[in-house]
A and B are shown apart, each in its own frame.
Chain A
Amino acid sequence: MNLLLQRHPINSALSLVVVMGALAVEFLLLGAEFVAAIQVIVYAGAVMVLFVFVIMLLNAGEEERTGGSRVAWLLGIPAVLAGMVIVCWALLSEPGSVALGVTPQAQEAFGNAPAISQLLFHQFLLPFEVTSILVLIAIMGAVVLAVRPESAQKTKKEI
């Protein structure tokens, strides 16, 4: 909630870090400690750092208050409430699925490192490799976009 309500983007980014942390804690509660740790390391530790970099470099100031339209408030809040009611009803109607503790079956079944590696390198090997190639293509695209054109390099000062 804080993520949406903050006016300054850097506060929103930090709230997003807290959201990632909360997700990691949820993973922990479900018994998936490896996923929780990886969530913190990758998401909160690297991806969000890059987000914060971007916000810092772009010097994005506070948002202006636009006043908003009355219609948005009139339609929006009941719609959000209705959506939340539907989600909660769907979750609660399934028997025994809202468990806050770690069941022994869950602990052996998924989330810990051996189980994940078993799945990742046997059943999901092809998606794993394709995802890594996708990330490589994204990196190459970023590098290509960031390289300055030739003409600008002649006027670069000696640093």
Chain B
Amino acid sequence: MNITTFIIVSVIKTALVLFVLLTAVAYTVWLERKVVGHMQNRWGPTRVGPFGLLQPAADGIKFLFKEDLTPPHVFKPLYIAAPMIAVIFAVTSIAVIPFGNWFSVGNFRTPFQITDVNIGLLVVLGITSLGVYGVALSGWSSNSKYSLLGGLRASAQMVSYEIALGLSLVGVLILAGTFSLRGIVEAQAGHFWGFIPNWFIFRGGQIFAFFIYLTAAYAETNRIPFDLPEAETELVAGYHTEYSAMKFAMFFMAEYANMITVACLASLLFLGGWSGPLFGPGWLQQLLPLLWFVLRVFGFLFVYIWVRGTLPRFRYDQLMAFGWKFLLPLAIANLVVTALVVVLKP
């Protein structure tokens, strides 16, 4: 296709994906409040709209109208820039994530993905690494001891668990042979033993890598059981203490967008992406993979929220010891075993 078609299609895809992502962020908040509420034997939001479905809209309006005060003792340039940095990096990594197979109308064909770079996985890892800056800089620029401590703890935790995160994915890379996310999903096509799908968690034996990845991802996104940096009872509110209204909402959005990205990655790398039974007419067959993908992502988000409602929080030294002394050796062991199996198999 020529260059103008490409640009128009890319702009449309980007706008669509952004819209869906931001709506998903808002409704993930709703889902969390409902699920955690039900786990704690109470209703979540029920007043605003049926089942409280308009609650995110109400929250959004509240954040827009709240007083956006800037305390006088902050370091202004970074104070204003840090939430923007956090949100930008959280939302950017969605650009390389494929949602489904090809979409073709007539003789026009485009993948369900904004762009397919052949280092897609490394791009996502790199952007996750850069997301640490949003947290660290917000903690420091707020110029208060709670924020500084929260920011430092959060960045140390994120940097430590990034390593385990990356290493757990190398097993998948060895099996797939490519960094491109679409390529990794396509390497999981098919079934073995008749009906068990060829996903890396089953056939590739990456069950340990799956759990390491999930645990490291909980730590990366600062969620329970690793949410000491934003624990209200420990640190006032950690690195986002001095933030109000829209900037606070931006940190919130960044955290949930990170959650969604992690869930997308987990379903792509370990659970076979968008594979699932296909039936129906042609156009339905193009949209069904999207449905399967969304179901997997929803499953992961539910597990995220479930863990949040269930587990207590790690203490900081327990957290760091867990990351360095347990997850990292386990990830390396997984890598070594996977490499050996791949090399020695006939």
Contact = CB atoms under 8 A, between A and B. Distances in A.
Interface residues of A, number: 21
A52 B133 contact: yes
B227 interface: no
B342 to A, nearest CB: 14
Contacts of A49: 129, 132-133, 136, 155, 159
B140 A56 contact: yes
Most B CB contacts (10 A, CB to CB) among A46, A49, A53, A113 go to: A49
Contacts of A57: 152
A33 B117 contact: yes
Contacts of A113: 119, 179
A118 B133 CA distance: 34
Interface string A22-33: 000000000001
Given A17-B133, A33-B119, A46 B159 contact: yes
A37 B130 contact: no
A40 B152 contact: no
Interface residues on chain B, size class? 20 to 34
Contact of A52 (B75, B128, B136, B148): B136
A11 interface: yes
Interface in A54-104: 56-57
Contacts, number: 66
Contact of A33 (B118, B125, B129, B136): B118
B119 A34 contact: yes
B126 A41 contact: yes
Contacts of B140: 10, 52, 56
Interface in B101-151: 117-119, 122-123, 125-126, 128-130, 132-133, 136-137, 139-140, 148, 151
A136 interface: no
A112 B179 CA distance: 11
A156 B78 CA distance: 35
A25 to B, nearest CB: 12
Contact of B152 (A17, A56, A112): A56
A13 to B, nearest CB: 10
A34 B178 CA distance: 11
A45 B132 contact: yes
For the complex, would chain A's binding face be called helix, strand, loop or mixed by DSSP majority? helix
B162 interface: yes
A34 B122 contact: yes
Interface in B56-99: 75, 77-78
Nearest to A57: B152
A112 B148 CA distance: 40
B118 A45 contact: no
Nearest to A8: B75
B122 A38 contact: yes
Given A45-B162, A49-B133, A37 B126 contact: yes
Contact of B122 (A10, A41, A46, A53): A41
B123 A37 contact: yes
Nearest to B130: A45
A38 B121 CA distance: 11
Nearest to B163: A46
Nearest to A37: B122
Interface string A41-52: 100111001001
Contact of B130 (A34, A44, A53): A44
Given A56-B148, A56-B152, A41 B125 contact: yes
A40 B78 contact: no
A52 to B, nearest CB: 6
Given A10-B140, A33-B118, A38-B122, A44 B148 contact: no
25 contacts: A10-B75, A11-B77, A14-B78, A17-B133, A33-B117, A34-B119, A34-B122, A40-B126, A40-B129, A40-B130, A41-B122, A41-B125, A41-B126, A41-B129, A45-B126, A45-B128, A45-B129, A45-B132, A45-B162, A49-B129, A49-B132, A56-B140, A56-B151, A57-B152, A112-B118
Given A56-B140, A112-B118, A113-B119, 9 more contacts: A10-B78, A14-B78, A33-B117, A37-B119, A40-B130, A41-B166, A52-B136, A53-B155, A56-B136
Interface of B: 75, 77-78, 117-119, 122-123, 125-126, 128-130, 132-133, 136-137, 139-140, 148, 151-152, 155-156, 159, 162, 166, 179
* CB-CB nearest 6 A-B residue pairs: A45-B129, A37-B122, A40-B126, A56-B140, A41-B126, A37-B119
